[in-house]
Amino acid sequence: MLAEHAQKFGGFWSLLKVEAVEKYLRAYATAMSKQPFELVYIDAFAGSGSFTFGEGMSLMGEDEAARVFAGSVKRALAVDAFKQLFFIESSDRNITSLKAIASGDKRVEIISGDANVKLIELCQRLDWRRRRGVVFVDPCGPETDWAILRAIAVTKALDVFWLFPLSAVYRNAQRWTRFVRQFGGLAKVDPGVCYAANVFVCASIA
């Protein structure tokens, strides 16, 4: 029998993050409700679907720290306007949890593998002439390649939430500078890179 499990990471800021994403998804669904498009949601680093706070939350009571919170996957599933939901995940254990959560929901496709590869393939596979949607990119550290942003932009159909930890920026400043320069170069060569309807780049302290 498939079993759901909660990942342990982050803190109160992780809850604020997924709550912000949920609010945006609901607002997006409302704004697009009269448009003739099929709405899709893509979670590039889907995780297990739920989480508890990680270590180091000493200022919080034990009961609060042990609570299980709905992750981005569960919150997106609760938005009926999304007719297709794609969850990309590389961990076998997390995939098992996602299958348990999405059981019976025909809107869902769970994709196993590296998001840097699978997200690009998905963007190229779908017909975006009749679709619009939102992509949530929230890796555990600097795991993403700027090539996925280009693939998203080429669709001319997707809004993007892209989150990254500030600690990763500090530790990888030289490497990230090269990424930023690469993205700038892509924008000059291919104006489509800058098209993506809305790109929300957010930093977190985790």
Q: What percent of the chain has pLDDT over 70?
A: 69
Question: What separation in angstroms does the CA of 182 have from each of 13, 106, 200?
Answer: 30, 38, 19
Q: What is the pLDDT of residue 92?
A: 95
Q: What is the pLDDT of residue 188?
A: 46
Domain that holds residue 166: 7-204
Between CA 156 and CA 15 the distance in angstroms is 30
- What is the number of domains present in the chain? 1
Q: What is the pLDDT of residue 54?
A: 66
Of the pLDDT bands very low, low, confident and very high (cuts 50, 70, 90), residue 206 is: very low
For 106: left if phi > 0, alpha if psi spans -120 to 50, otherwise beta; the answer is alpha
* Domain contains 45: yes
* Domain contains 1: no
- pTM for the complete prediction? 0.80
Please give the residue that has the higher pLDDT: either 64 or 96.
96
What tens digit of pLDDT does each residue of 31-58 get?
999 999 999 999 999 998 888 876 655 5
Which residues have C-beta within 8 Å of that of residue 144, sequence separation ≥ 6?
A: 44, 115, 116, 137, 162, 164
Please give the residue that has the higher pLDDT: either 67 or 186.
67
* Domain contains 2: no
Mean of per-residue pLDDT scores for the chain: 80
Given a cut of 80, whether residue 172 has pLDDT beyond it is no
Question: 104-118, 136-150, 181-195: which has the highest mean pLDDT?
Answer: 104-118
Given a cut of 50, whether residue 156 has pLDDT beyond it is yes
* Domain contains 138: yes
* Domain contains 88: yes
Average pLDDT over residues 126-140: 92
Contact yes or no for 32/126 (Cβ under 8 A): no
Phi and psi at residue 45, to the nearest 5°: -130, 75
Q: What is the pLDDT of residue 164?
A: 65
Q: What is the pLDDT of residue 167?
A: 58
* Domain contains 139: yes
Tell me, what CATH number does 100's domain have? 3.40.50
Q: What is the pLDDT of residue 144?
A: 73
